[in-house]
Chain A
């Protein structure tokens, strides 16, 4: 579908085609709601099910059963009657639910009665010395290349970090034939003590058996070394990884370093729409304030999936359905939908192991709050020292910091430095991330070209459709 074929308004606009978005669109469309789903990738699936309808990785054992569960969601959404538009980048959403979308270089403004933001999560920044060198990338990017193109790293590969996804990707890469020299486990030892009280819940959760099996699978094939400092060294590209262990400093030659220390909600679109956010002190990130139906502080806008706080893919689909039911109740009163109570119960069950995982895999402060010349903002090449010094001079928040250092003002719109800058300011000023706050995000949340913007239709009828 191209931009000019879109209706000027929809009852429900779903943004993002991962589990939350697919489940939400399917449920709403089946209940008779006029629904469009915009997804910026060539195919649906989001990150977790990326390439679900197109992946060249046909051996189902490599990506695993949890990945292939996405196929049913995609099929259900496709059959539901929802308009599913891929290659559609949503670059603005405002509090009046006007959605700006670009498809193949053509922009359109669409009015929605309800919006479900299902923009999911992104990887937490991992600012270590040398993280901007070619040859250093996020584990998520490597997973994307595997799912979408079937690409497997060659050469000497080291992984570093912590979190369930690190182990999942390691297992997937190994199954696909990659060789991993070592995994540097940065999980702080003290986290095991802190997480201990959450063990009983975790033992009852679906994560337990899957997680332990993954750990066994990976640890049987790759040396796992506990590290409390990791640096990427090299002149023009990565040459070696230097890390500190309990037994002293070690060095390993490497061609590829894959970094990962968990995922955090991708808040840019919801924040730009004016949705109220708060600091989650267990997950160490900002998340939108939502009610039991995932409605936000802005009327008519819900955030479902990991964008509303990290809970995983299965929970994301359930959250999407719950948000969709709330939309159906307003838009198509009396339509028959799934019992929301059942969904809430399975969502609660899904969440049981979360406290344990969140606490265990909380990244160490030294991996979140860099020092010295380590780059904090990659777009504008701002170092940790600059941010710390400017905070010491009296700069109280990230928005003032933008004006002093331009950090967060590049094309990534702060995705790669937002949390780092907030935490650095909080540390220097002996404040809290909650107090310090986050960048005030401005649309377009994804860059658009001047030509694209100039292509917006400007007829009277179009204007009337959006001005109310």
Chain B
């Protein structure tokens, strides 16, 4: 006989674990199926940025609701997740770029979002004293910060289990079928039956969607990161650039994490990524120009986590268009870490009650022209 649950969550990344926790908090019994171990891929090895800054309008409501959870993360998961809030600064490298930022900040204010704030050169220099002198200003989101991604994912996993979720690792989903009102999830560890299924399978989520006759244009990506040896503390906020690809932050232990979206070649069937050092060299050169203090730093490690990117750069969050009882939560396109806590809460609400007050309509899978609900 198949084992049963209220909800099967496919994927043990930050999103799957967060959704499982929030489902458990609502009194439901979720089972998470993870093919490797929780946080093995992008959720565990991303840059750890907890950022509301510079997000697509469609996901700002999710991001804002998530931020509220980050600010009480220890109450939620029993661990501070290494979360520290020193803001994120988007640095303008020219007056023209700064003018563009001003237009965006003004537009956001008209829409009622105030987390982005334009800053002049003096404030930029105050926040980021080490930044090169050619930068005229930027944008800050003061409540932003950074956390330890693997620790965060593990904290959600652990708390979910404490609240009654089950997390099965090293087991992969091989099929999905509907028997009456029940979904039968075939796995390498035997079948599980549940009325609801959440597809939080990250870079592998298109395969789950395909099992439901709902193909989506998902690109597997692996954004590269590198970390330096320890340096004396010289910068507190996370720094990002728009024109050139760069994100940059110094951790509490003095090491500096350099990222920004240059991509490695992912091989998702082998859990492997091959780094592109020519592109990492571009990041190195950008840091070299922007932060003279970094020039003698040593790079000790570079890596890339495998994840899903959608063509329009925003995730798929919401019910399946073909399969009743199935919900999608994937495609976070290299900026899903901050969204994890809040999206899990929204997804649990959606699964449990069928609706949510957080506007997510623009994130529906139907935007890719999927077929209508068939059942």
Chain A residues close to B by CB (< 8 Å): 92, 94-96, 98, 100, 107, 109, 274, 396-397, 400, 403-404, 406, 409-411, 413, 442-444, 447-451, 453-456, 458, 462-463, 466
Contacts and interface: CB of A to CB of B under 8 A. Distances in A.
Interface residues of B, number: 33
Scoring A96, A397, A403, A406 by chain B CB atoms within 10 A of each residue's CB, the highest score goes to A403
A96 B264 CA distance: 13
B278 A450 contact: no
A92 B275 contact: yes
Contact of A442 (B37, B253, B301): B301
Given A100-B277, A451-B288, A413 B301 contact: yes
A397 B229 CA distance: 24
Contacts of B37: 396-397, 400
B299 A450 contact: yes
18 contacts: A94-B274, A95-B274, A96-B274, A274-B272, A400-B154, A403-B151, A411-B229, A442-B301, A442-B303, A443-B302, A447-B229, A449-B296, A450-B228, A450-B288, A453-B277, A456-B281, A463-B278, A466-B278
Contacts of B228: 450
A453 B299 contact: yes
A449 B278 contact: no
Contacts of A449: 296-299
A458 B301 contact: no
Interface in B262-316: 270, 272, 274-275, 277-278, 280-282, 284-285, 287-288, 294-303
Nearest to B255: A409
B319 interface: no
Contacts of A447: 229, 298-300
A400 B45 CA distance: 11
Contacts of A404: 151
Contacts, number: 91
Scoring B278, B297, B303 by chain A CB atoms within 10 A of each residue's CB, the highest score goes to B278
Given A396-B37, A403-B151, A403-B154, A454 B229 contact: no
Nearest to B288: A454
A246 B166 CA distance: 51
B148 interface: yes
B269 to A, nearest CB: 13
Contacts of A443: 275, 301-302
B366 to A, nearest CB: 37
A458 B276 CA distance: 12
A453 B151 contact: no
Contacts of B282: 458
A411 B228 CA distance: 9
The 4 closest A-B pairs by CB, nearest first: A403-B150, A456-B281, A453-B284, A454-B284
B278 A456 contact: yes
B274 A458 contact: no
Contacts of A98: 277
Nearest to A456: B281
Contacts of A410: 300
Nearest to B227: A409
B44 interface: yes
Interface in B85-115: none
A448 B299 contact: yes
B80 to A, nearest CB: 14
A450 to B, nearest CB: 5
A454 B285 contact: yes
A454 B39 CA distance: 31
A451 B275 CA distance: 19
B278 A109 contact: yes
A444 B301 contact: yes
B263 to A, nearest CB: 13
